[in-house]
Each structure stands twice: as C-alpha cells, then as structure tokens.
Structure 1
Amino acid sequence: MNLMKKNGFTLIELVVVIIILAILSIIAAPRFIEFQSDARISSLKGLRAEMHGAMSVLYPKSVLQGLQNKPGEDDDKATDDENVIIIDGQKIHLAYGYPAADSSKAWSLLIMATFTDSVFNADEPGDWYFHNKDGDKFIRFMTQSKKFSHDNCYLKYTEAASPTTPPVFEIVDSGC
C-alpha cells in the first residue's frame, strides 16, 4: 500500500485560516487605534507637564525682575523689550511673568524641544507643531501625527490675563 505524503495546506485550510485572521484583525483593530489615541493624549499631557515645570522656574525669575505685573505686548509694540527675560542670549516675551503666546520660541528654549509652524512649515520635521495668529492670546501645540489644529488633537496655551490669572492649559482630544 502506497500512502501519499501530504505537503502543505489544502485550499480550504488556507481559506479558513485567512477568514480567522480577518475576524481577529477586525476585533483587534479598534484596540490598536485606541492605543494610538491614548498615546497622543499622553504626549499632550506630558508636554503640558513639561511646560508647567518650565513655568515654575521662569515665574520666580520674572518676579525677581519685577515683571509679574506687566501685561503681554500688543502687536503695535512688538519691539518693546521691557517685558522680557533673556535665556541663553534669547529673549522670551512675557505676559504677567509667564511666557507670552506670541510664538513657540520661548517654549523651545525652556523645554529643549523643536517646534515647527504647522501652517508655514508643515513639511519640516519637529518634535511638536504649533499654530497661532497675530493678536491671539493663545497658541496651539500639536503632535507630529495630528499637526493641524482642525484635527482637534492639541494643547492650547492661553497666556496669563492678569497678575492674578495665570496661564491656562487646555487639552482638546476629540480628534486624537
């Protein structure tokens, strides 16, 4: 009696394996997508914590220089150097002793990260992306994978409104 050796899978076995893998991927995909969302939100929370830490070092320096009661600069006074602290030879504009929301330059000096403008330099690499408009008293910071503010996945920094109202950090995560 000559028995045939069986080599490999039959077509039916292959189809069954593919169907099982497809079902498993359909079940598992939402969990992996949720992990990505959680990772983006955690990144934003980490950035917020770094910014809080940097402000806790910067604010006492501004108090020592008597800058805690001075408002942020208006667009008309962009060259005003009365309300700045110099770090590493670079000027950081302040609003009531905290970083002003004029650009990301202050934050790149304070937390050692690169911030890229998401509108004008969206193709340039950066650790974080930011967006603000002239005259706005806030700035948005986005992750690399959600680098536009209309993605609704960003950290919004609103500069201090008065000596008794510190800056506000708001995480918008509906699109993460």
Structure 2
Amino acid sequence: MCGFEKTKQRGFTLIELVVVIALLAILAAFAIPRYAGLEREARSASILGVSGSIRSGAALVHGLWLSQEINPVVMEGNVINLTQGYPDATDISATLADLTGFTVVVNGAGNQAVFSKIGLSNCEVVYNDALAGSAPIISVDTDGC
C-alpha cells in the first residue's frame, strides 16, 4: 500500500448547499405573495361574515315583529327598538353574538351603524335603518382589508 487511505466523504459539498439554498429562495419567492393574499382574503371573509350575520339578525327580528307586532322586541334578553319593523342602527349589534375584532360606531342621528375591522380603514359593514316599505340597507366595503 502506498500510504494513502481512502476516507469517506461526510456532509454536503459547497455546490450541493448552494443549489438547495437557491431552490428554497425560488420557492419562497412564490409562496410569500400567496400567504399575503390569504391574509387579505381572510379579513374580507370576516367582513362578509359580519354582513351575513347582520342580515340574518335583522331578518329574525323582522320575523318576530311580523308575528307579534310589538315594538320593541326582546331577543335573548336584549331589548331591540325597531324602525319599520327592522332593528334600529343603535340596536342592531344586539342581534350579533360576537363582535371580537370589530368596532361599532353609530352616527349622531342614530340611523347608521358602521362595523369596522379594528386597525383598518375601508374594511367595514354599514347598516342603515329601514325606510318606509323597504328593508335596511347593508353595504360592505372590503377595499382596505
């Protein structure tokens, strides 16, 4: 024997390490924008969920009013004043179970309630009192979500 011993290679070569890092960087470049988009979609879905809950609550109160013809109505211990058989803007939030993460602001006249996602502008649901012969107007703005 010549005095040279064969040693086993351990670990990765520098080229293999660079290739793996480059592949991870490429994957991250495609994945990060997707996750950012999912966050916006989740906030928008939250706003749409509140909008649906407001519509359902208003419909339940209206159905109760149609069957009993009383004003105000009491729902789950909450007294809800009505306008044209639908909840007032001042009382619409009483029809909702959970408003965690939202602020509710009722305008000075008491005919409009704005449900906003905390910390975001233009990410809101606006509830306007019912007018004679019509249901309340509920609009959704997800531009700032």
Same fold (TM over 0.5): yes
Provide the C-alpha distance between the structure 2 equivalents of 1:174 and 1:6, rounded to a whole number of angstroms: 57
Report how many residues are paired: 141
1:89 to 37, 59, 77: 77
CA-to-partner distance for each residue in 1:122-164, whole Å, 9 max, x for gaps? Answer: xxxx2x412314415322224xxx41352x222222221x122
Check if 1:155 corresponds to 2:129.
Answer: no
What amino acid sits opposite 2:114 in the alignment? R
Q: TM-score, normalised by structure 1?
A: 0.66
Cα offset for 1:173?
0.9
Which structure has the larger Rg over C-alpha atoms? 2
Cα offset for 1:22?
1.8
What amino acid sits opposite 2:103 in the alignment? F
Q: TM-score, normalised by structure 2?
A: 0.77
Q: Identify unmatched segments of 5+ residues in structure 2.
A: none
In structure 2, do the counterparts of structure 1 residues 134 and 59 end up closer, same or farther at CA, with 3 Å as the change threshold? same
In structure 2, do the counterparts of structure 1 residues 153 and 6 end up closer, same or farther at CA, with 3 Å as the change threshold? farther
Q: Identify unmatched segments of 5+ residues in structure 1.
A: 68-82, 116-125
CA contact (8 A) 1:131 1:141 kept: yes
- Alignment-derived partner of residue 86 in structure 2: 98
- Alignment-derived partner of residue 134 in structure 2: 165
Provide the C-alpha distance between the structure 1 equivalents of 2:83 and 2:113, rounded to a whole number of angstroms: 13
Provide the C-alpha distance between the structure 1 equivalents of 2:85 and 2:12, rounded to a whole number of angstroms: 71
In structure 2, do the counterparts of structure 1 residues 104 and 65 end up closer, same or farther at CA, with 3 Å as the change threshold? closer
Following TM superposition, the consecutive aligned residue runs of length 4 or more in structure 1 with deviations greater than 6 angstroms are none
Root-mean-square deviation (CA, aligned residues, Å) is 2.5
2:112 to 129, 138, 153: 138
Provide the C-alpha distance between the structure 2 equivalents of 1:29 and 1:65, rounded to a whole number of angstroms: 54
In structure 2, do the counterparts of structure 1 residues 57 and 133 end up closer, same or farther at CA, with 3 Å as the change threshold? closer
1:132 is paired with a residue of what secondary structure? strand
1:58 is paired with a residue of what secondary structure? helix
Provide the C-alpha distance between the structure 1 equivalents of 2:6 and 2:140, rounded to a whole number of angstroms: 69
2:102 to 112, 125, 129: 129
Provide the C-alpha distance between the structure 2 equivalents of 1:107 and 1:155, rounded to a whole number of angstroms: 15
Give the percent of matched residue pairs that are identical in Structure 1 and Structure 2: 30
CA contact (8 A) 1:155 1:169 kept: yes
CA contact (8 A) 1:140 1:149 kept: no
Cα offset for 1:103?
5.2
What amino acid sits opposite 1:141 in the alignment? F
2:139 is paired with a residue of what secondary structure? strand
What amino acid sits opposite 1:148 in the alignment? G
What amino acid sits opposite 2:115 in the alignment? F
